[in-house]
Structure 1
Amino acid sequence: MKKVMIIGGGLAGCEAAYQLASRGIPVELFEMKPGMFSPAHETEGLAELVCSNSLRSNAPDSAVGLLKEEMRSTGSLLMQVAEATQVPAGKALAVDRKLFSQKVTETMVQHELITLRREEVTSLPGPDSSPVILATGPLTSDSLARDLQRLTGQQLAFYDAIAPIVSAESLDKSLIYRKSRWDDDGPGDYLNCPMTEAQYEHFITLLQEGETVPLKDFEDAKFFEGCLPVEVMCSRGKDTLRFGPMKPVGLAHPETGEVPFAVVQLRAENREETMYNLVGFQTKLTYPAQKQVFSSIPGLEHAEFLRYGSIHRNTFICAPSLLQPSLQLQEQSNLFIAGQLSGVEGYVESIAMGMLAGINCACLVLHGQVPSVPPPGTALGALINHLTQSDPRHFQPSNVNFGLFPPLQKKMRKRDRGTFRAQLAKDLLDQWLQHDKIV
């Protein structure tokens, strides 16, 4: 039987490897760490989470919650691991990132059909090779990115930013209160740093004056709208943050009932809650500027920063002009593109594309053809539709959202639409799974 080569041991690569191996197909999984690290990776583990530890909403009537439900139904390994390593995060699914990576790594190493090779791949196999899944993600090495660019004839990179992490014991708990937005039933899973109008104005002034990391001559900064650096949001108007990640709505103080002018939320990074990240505070400020600006936040005056935010490259292809719905490259059908490299944005979406690439590749090896595409009324199908049917002239990576789904054929109240879409998607997915015998 053909052995499938998977390049990249991140979220998508590990999910793809599991889908193939669980169907009896041998896999060689290539990961360049620890011989070489990207600018944002720090550990030797596979499936390392570098931006946030949150996989976002778990609500089944939200688009990303629905995507998770579909992935569970389709047999996603990483969804199983995420649930086994989750930490409190309100209605979101957040994980202990160290434990999450550890469990995924153990699964890859221990599976008898998966061979893990710790070495960098610098060029892509040709069209006559056995099937290959490329899942090197937004931080693809320069050499491999150049080879992919040669193959596709297109530019591949724009830039993203990650948020800082602070030590829990360094926080001033006398100023910070625990509460989840709109959650009045318990203490809540988020720590909230409330600001008065004067404190907010001071913070905005510091942020506007903060020094940022200069771009190199060859860099062209194009930020994804769903993950803008905090200073970029601030530059759009002084109230942008107060109506964005710092909005106080639903976060009245649980004891006094007072509604702050603005709020900075902190989310636990691990189960022990010894580390917290600043929610929505992706940044490209210099480290000294981050220390000065973020220490002005009430409760963070003496914060110990365990990791500062940093800018990083996000590499992706122009999927509408290059990809088949099966995630095979149009010009080289033995090459599948998975994860963020395919043009999706977000952890869950990356895992989903790894899962589909693995399933499709397995069907190609076992049956000589790939299965049908999930219906566009499903979250999985909506993402594939976005990748392959968008206007290539204006293509941008996207998180899953109901705007990617086909319009509803009947009118209904907004609060009922999510539930209706979720049930419709479940029925469509069940039909697809049964028809193509995916699971």
Structure 2
Amino acid sequence: MSQSLLSHRVLAIEPSPSIAANALVTQLRGEGRDIVNFTIGEPDLDTPRHILEAAQQAMFSGETHYTGTPGTPALLKAIVQKLARDNGLSYRDDEVIAGCGGKHIIYHALAATLNPGDEVIVHTPYWVSYPDIARLNEATPVIIPGDESNGFKLLPQALEQAITPRTKWVILNTPNNPSGAVYSEAELQALADVLRQHPQVLIMSDEIYEHFVYGSARHVSFVAAAADLQARTLIVNGASKGYAMTGWRLGFAAGPRWLIAAMGKLLSQTTTCPSSVSQAAAVAAFAGDQAPIAQMRELYVERRRRMLELLADIPGIGCTPPDGAFYVFANVSGLIGKVTPDAQRLESDGDVVAYFLREGGVATVAGSAYGLSPYVRLSFASAMEVIEEGCRRLRRACQALR
């Protein structure tokens, strides 16, 4: 009876796999289990102090009321300044909008534009929610399989083959979650060459991990690489990752005025506006001292180096070093077919994840959640001692297989 009362939209999707994995860690720890958590998709670091002080000042000065739906004038100005400073992009205040996190922004962008029968192109490995948000808005996700041999990147010929007259959106994510792939300017321009031939297609460029790139990699915004496509590109970003502000729930979008206005109409009927206190904090994040970002990046550089070093010594696991974000998307094909100490055969990356949790007390997320198997995602947004202990446990668990 209860299922019959639910909408077909809700029945067509599953809970977010990464959120579910982290919730399981919380549950097991509550039961007394000692779990190393590599599922977490957020910085383990505290929000920088100057941002906290801005929020405190806002609260005590009475900034605790509704704001305009797109965001406060101060926040919109800070976003415009951030896009100019960090990305070399020119936007007006009415071409940007704030929401309750990047996921919130993505949902409202798709809800404002999709109709039944529309298609949304997504390349694997993808952030877990892209396909389901498309389904929630009665569109069809068109999945392009990724390939580790080219760094998990979408190739122009694959994009061209996937576009149909029903294509409404192409979603790009650089730096990528979960693979850490970072597209160069030339690679973005090659994708833009394809998209110029299809003027009905909108481009969503999810750049939430822009501040965390490593080695010789450099983040380039899609609009910086293809300025002529700015009129049909929506940049998605926010405070969550770069400023260690996941719990503040503050994301933003930059795009054409007609789309920003449509999203604003929807937001006025759903959440009215983001938290006024979070907006004040985000002004300090985007327009204030940027030194904490560099400090966080240096921590991730060392954590990434150490995790890759330790994983390289684990039999059955292979890694393409990530150029960005804070995840390793590890290849576990060498573990498929192995038999566990309790005589269970590992048939999939889901089995591998279950074994790591059961045998090693290490929580990871299966590559199938991101549309590509056999892989597991491991976050290095954890303290060095956590990374070292987790990798020791993984090594013992893999050595126990036969």
Regarding TM over 0.5, the answer is: no
TM-score of Structure 1 vs Structure 2, range by shorter chain: under 0.3
Superposition TM-score, scaled by structure 1 size: 0.24
Pick the structure with more helix per residue: 2
